[in-house]
């Protein structure tokens, strides 16, 4: 009987398994632009085919891939098309997808330079490119993490460490029991991942100081409490609903004067700094101490790509501390110093490929394109009698009918049409439809087609 090891060596040699996967991938790519954006009910029901007992013996690899494609592919959401506008989800740039395929074959662990010199070098390069694009201080370092949820936690952990260290307290050795007080000041409209990070770090929601937001969701600088050197201040580049940006220049200036730590949650909005046409939105972000930003949103890298950026290297590496007798640190970049995890995927490969492909001008074009399509959405919806509730400054558009019930019905009808898909949210306590334009593939025609779906959906409601 052939051993499982012989089977796998044979698969590496004849390549047919990889060619089969490639064929399925090409078919999926070709259909993505025109398919029903959300899977049909029968396709979702068909996913029950995956429900089976764990096999006792090894299974046929070709049959596994065939099942994954025939059942799994129809049940996916067409996020790689141009008419998906849900959850601020991006769409991977082709060059980055190809780079990820190659990287998956490399199967590198970038924890230490000695484990993967190539990925260590790509991380070093991407760190410098990110600083350049975002206009951050030269001493800023980067950690490559899965998403902004983790990036935010890392930035806040660095701030917690630094603020306590100033008071003579080492949180790594002494913990939080009996630690000096840290004030946490943030907007009432901060993203849920910020509150999650604070909870994980022992800085819970009930003890924070919430600052009211203005009509567009920006932190109200006039109602900011007096800051001090024990304050962790959290600002937002891109309100999750309206896309609005806080006034970083004035608020950060006040924080800097008080020697407070400033973290900017910039999941999708921080990249505004990389476009000459949108950079005014991010003016003053360089005055902060740490930042979190996704690659897989606005920048359109594949998923599992984000950065924590911090201009205090010692604070970040101390907060992300990693020790072990077997660890071989070097004079080169050892990336486990900048993230919570050790073993992980080589995320920097597709980020490097994305930035290399786009260049400065391409990044700006990508960002401007998303903003233009959002403006087009707002204009056409308004012309067709829909209520656009926010000032469209970036890639977010909020739409509502004259009653909550009609708004919800409108959204459900649009989603059911399959022409496009966008999610719902709450704005000023009422339900809204949230359109997030995040895909490089969204064209003017995609927006026109989607607005027609809104019109048809409203007729059903009426």
Per-residue pLDDT tens for 367-382?
999 999 999 999 999 9
Q: Which residues of the chain have pLDDT under 70?
A: none
Q: Give the model's pLDDT for residue 461.
A: 83
Q: Give the model's pLDDT for residue 434.
A: 98
- Burial of 344-379, coded b for 16+ CB within 10 Å and e otherwise, reads bbbbbbbbbbbbbebeeeebbebbebbbbbbbbbbe
Evaluate whether 305 touches 290 at the Cβ level (below 8 Å).
no
CA 52 to chain centre: 33
User: What span, in angstroms and rounded, lies between the C-alpha atoms of 310 and 223?
Assistant: 27
| Residue from 351, 358, 332, 363 nearest 144 by CA | 351
Query: Domains in the chain, please, with CATH?
Result: 99-355 (3.40.640.10)
Provide the 8-state DSSP code for 70. I
Angstrom CA distances, 323 to 112, 339, 344, 439, stand at 12, 13, 17, 40
Q: Give the model's pLDDT for residue 379.
A: 98
- Burial of 80-114, coded b for 16+ CB within 10 Å and e otherwise, reads bbbbbbbebbbbbbeebbebbeebeeeebebbbbe
Q: Which two tokens stand for residue 273?
A: 């700094």
User: What span, in angstroms and rounded, lies between the C-alpha atoms of 332 and 120?
Assistant: 8
User: What span, in angstroms and rounded, lies between the C-alpha atoms of 418 and 35?
Assistant: 8
User: What span, in angstroms and rounded, lies between the C-alpha atoms of 172 and 444?
Assistant: 52
Query: What are the E-state strand segments in 279-415?
Result: 290-294, 306-310, 387-388, 396-400
Taking only the tens place, the pLDDT of each residue in 164-186 is 999 999 999 999 999 999 999 99
* Axis-axis angle for helices 348-383, 94-106 (nearest 10): 150
């Amino acid at each position: 009987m052939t051993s499982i090891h012989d089977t796998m060596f044979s698969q590496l040699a004849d390549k047919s398994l990889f060619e089969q996967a490639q064929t399925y991938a090409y078919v999926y790519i070709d259909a993505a632009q025109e398919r029903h954006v959300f899977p049909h009910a029968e396709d979702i029901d068909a996913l029950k085919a995956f429900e089976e007992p764990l096999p006792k013996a090894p299974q046929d690899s070709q049959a596994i891939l065939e099942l994954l494609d025939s059942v799994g592919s129809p049940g996916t959401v067409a996020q790689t098309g141009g008419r998906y506008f849900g959850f601020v989800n991006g769409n991977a740039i082709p060059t980055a997808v190809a780079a990820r395929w190659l990287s998956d074959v490399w199967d590198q662990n970038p924890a230490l330079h000695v484990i993967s010199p190539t990925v260590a070098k790509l991380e070093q390069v991407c760190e410098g490119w990110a600083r350049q694009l975002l206009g951050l201080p030269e001493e800023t370092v980067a950690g490559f993490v899965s998403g902004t949820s983790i990036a935010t936690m890392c930035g806040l952990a660095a701030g917690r460490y630094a603020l306590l260290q100033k008071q003579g307290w080492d949180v790594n050795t002494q913990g939080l029991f009996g630690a000096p007080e840290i004030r946490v000041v943030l907007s009432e409209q901060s993203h849920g991942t910020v509150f999650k990070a604070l909870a994980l770090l022992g800085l819970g929601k009930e003890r924070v100081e919430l600052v009211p937001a203005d009509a567009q969701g920006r932190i109200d600088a006039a109602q900011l409490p007096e800051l001090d050197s024990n304050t962790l201040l959290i600002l937002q580049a891109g309100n999750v609903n309206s896309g609005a940006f806080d006034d970083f220049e004035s608020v950060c200036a006040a924080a800097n004067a008080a020697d407070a730590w400033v973290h900017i949650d910039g999941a999708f909005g921080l990249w505004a700094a990389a476009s000459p046409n949108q950079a005014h939105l991010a003016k003053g972000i360089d005055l902060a101490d740490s930042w979190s930003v996704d690659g897989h949103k606005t920048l359109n890298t594949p998923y599992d790509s984000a950065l924590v950026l911090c201009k205090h290297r010692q604070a970040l590496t101390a907060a992300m501390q990693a020790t072990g007798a077997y660890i071989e640190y070097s004079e080169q970049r050892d990336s486990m110093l900048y993230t919570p995890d050790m073993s992980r995927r080589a995320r920097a490969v597709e980020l490097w490929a994305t930035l290399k492909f786009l260049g400065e001008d391409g990044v700006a074009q990508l960002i401007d394109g998303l903003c233009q399509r959002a403006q087009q959405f707002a204009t056409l919806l308004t012309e067709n009698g829909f209520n656009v509730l926010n000032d469209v400054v970036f890639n977010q558009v909020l739409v509502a009918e004259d009653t909550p019930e009609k708004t919800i019905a409108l959204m459900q009808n649009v989603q059911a049409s399959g022409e496009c898909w966008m999610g719902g949210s709450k704005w000023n306590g009422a339900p809204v439809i949230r359109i997030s334009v995040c895909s490089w593939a969204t064209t003017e025609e995609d927006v026109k087609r989607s607005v027609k779906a809104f019109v048809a959906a409203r007729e059903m409601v009426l």
